[in-house]
Amino acid sequence: MPTQPKAAIGRYHHPVAVCRDYDPRTPEVAQLVRELIVSQQPTVSVEHIGSTAVEGCAGKGIIDLPV
């Protein structure tokens, strides 16, 4: 029986909402996740939205990527 590949993206967790300082790594993380999605579904459009998409903006620290 073939083994299942390890999931690249884990389950969504529901953390308590708190305001965090802007993390300058978020654009890179968003781009990596975007590339993972598009590599599996090349016809979709993936956008980075929300506070993490705005340089210097504080927020919940959750990367929003509508497909």
Q: pLDDT tens digit string along 4-17?
A: 666 667 787 787 88
> Quick one: pLDDT at residue 6?
65
As a whole number of angstroms, the distance between CA 5 and CA 28 comes to 24
Please, which residues have CB within 8 angstroms of residue 24's CB and are 6 or more apart in sequence? 55
* Mean pLDDT score of the chain: 89
Q: Is the pLDDT of residue 30 over 60?
A: yes
> Residue 17: its pLDDT value, please?
85
Tell me how crowded residue 56 is: count the other CB atoms within 10 A of its CB: 8
DSSP tag of 25: T
pLDDT at res. 2: 58
